[in-house]
Amino acid sequence: MQKYSCIIVEDEPLAAEVLSDYIHQVPFLHLQGVCADAIYAMEMLQKEKIDLIFLDIHLPKLKGMDFVKALKEPPQVIITSAYQEYALQGYELNVVDYLLKPIEFSRFLMAVNKLKKPAAPATIIQSGPAATERMHLFFNVSKKMVKVYLDEILYIESLKEYIRIVTKDKHILTKFQLGQIEELLARNNFLRVHRSFIVAKDKIEAFTATDVEICGKPIPIGRSYKELVMRGLE
């Protein structure tokens, strides 16, 4: 598994500790260091190859946004701030995401799942069909990060603060909101059919005006979703 080398630029020890804990729970992240200010972070960037910066905005000596602007070729950046009014400015700098403190782990996970794959060193490969990596996400299940391939998902069910991800072989229960997972899956093979269900379109075996059927299980189509579902299944 290719990992993202990252640093935290944060002058509040408690906030840095929370981020450090989150990073250590994600297998594809490797924490290189914690910087209390942007000047120290610049020094680290000169010494180490860094793929990702978790960056606070209000820092001593040099503010977070000015720090990003000062970098000739900045790594990927995820802003971590208690102030939402800087979000537009952050996205204008092409940041990966903008996280508002206090940051929940599920929201942190959404952000890091948006990362672009870091460039790998050049290697010699034999000619032939290009290999494509299967799309996947990691979910926190009993303090363990579990990989779920998107093409294995049959449907996802909302259970209040949790979601149940159902594949042919297993059910995965994780603390997540259905709306959040819907954002992550929006550009892929998934369709919201009900306030409590998202389904994989290519796994639908049959459908009526009131439900879709996956592996023999009827899943209801919500009244407010009916037009969208029918259009998505045309």
Confidence class for position 127, pLDDT limits 50, 70, 90: very low
Query: Are 141 and 124 spatial neighbours (Cβ–Cβ below 8 Å)?
Result: no
Its domain, for residue 210, covers 136-232
Two structure tokens written together for 195: 């306030």
Q: Give the DSSP per-residue string, 155-198.
A: EEEEETTEEEEEESS-EEEEE--HHHHHHHHTTSSEEEEETTEE
Of the listed ranges 26-30, 48-52, 136-140, the least confidently predicted one is: 136-140
Residues 9 and 102 in one domain: yes
Q: At 217, which helix (H) or strand (E)? A: strand 217-220
**What is residue 114's DSSP assignment?**
T
Residues 10 and 74 in one domain: yes
User: From CA 174, how far away is CA 221, in angstroms rounded?
Assistant: 23
Residue 62 has pLDDT above 50, yes or no: yes
Residues 144 and 83 in one domain: no
Residue 1 has pLDDT above 80, yes or no: no
Residue 125 counted as domain residue: no
Among candidate residues 229, 148, 138, 141, the one with its CA nearest the CA of residue 192:
229
Per-residue pLDDT at 85: 87
More confident residue, 55 or 2: 55
What pTM, to 2 d.p., does this model score?
Answer: 0.58
User: From CA 191, how far away is CA 159, in angstroms rounded?
Assistant: 18
Residues 178 and 102 in one domain: no
Residue 131 counted as domain residue: no
Among candidate residues 101, 106, 72, 79, the one with its CA nearest the CA of residue 179:
106
Residues 29 and 107 in one domain: yes
User: From CA 10, how far away is CA 99, in angstroms rounded?
Assistant: 13
Per-residue pLDDT at 64: 93
Residue 129 counted as domain residue: no
Residues 214 and 146 in one domain: yes
Average pLDDT over residues 122-143: 60
Residue 54 has pLDDT above 70, yes or no: yes
Residue 130 counted as domain residue: no
Residues 105 and 141 in one domain: no
Residues 144 and 97 in one domain: no
Report percent pLDDT > 70 for the chain.
Answer: 91
Per-residue pLDDT at 108: 94
Confidence class for position 93, pLDDT limits 50, 70, 90: confident
Of the listed ranges 102-116, 160-174, 180-194, the least confidently predicted one is: 180-194
User: From CA 152, how far away is CA 129, in angstroms rounded?
Assistant: 23
Residue 119 counted as domain residue: no
Residue 145 counted as domain residue: yes
Residues 107 and 172 in one domain: no
User: From CA 133, how far away is CA 160, in angstroms rounded?
Assistant: 32
pLDDT tens digit sequence for 198-229: 999 999 999 999 999 999 999 999 999 999 89
Residue 67 has pLDDT above 90, yes or no: yes
Overall number of domains in the chain: 2
> Which amino acid, one-letter code, is at 13?
P
Residue 42 counted as domain residue: yes
Per-residue pLDDT at 120: 45
User: From CA 73, how far away is CA 165, in angstroms rounded?
Assistant: 38
Residues 92 and 164 in one domain: no
**What is residue 214's DSSP assignment?**
E
CATH number of the domain to which 10 belongs? 3.40.50.2300
User: Exposed e or buried b for every residue in 86-108, given b needs 16+ CB within 10 A?
Assistant: beeebeeeebbbbbeeebeebbb
Per-residue pLDDT at 121: 42
Per-residue pLDDT at 133: 65
More confident residue, 126 or 58: 58
Average pLDDT over residues 170-174: 91
Residue 8 has pLDDT above 60, yes or no: yes
Among candidate residues 139, 154, 150, the one with its CA nearest the CA of residue 26:
139
CATH number of the domain to which 223 belongs? 2.40.50.1020
Mean pLDDT across the chain? 87
Strand partners, 33: 7
User: From CA 65, how far away is CA 23, in angstroms rounded?
Assistant: 22
More confident residue, 35 or 133: 35
Residue 105 counted as domain residue: yes
Residues 10 and 75 in one domain: yes
Per-residue pLDDT at 123: 35
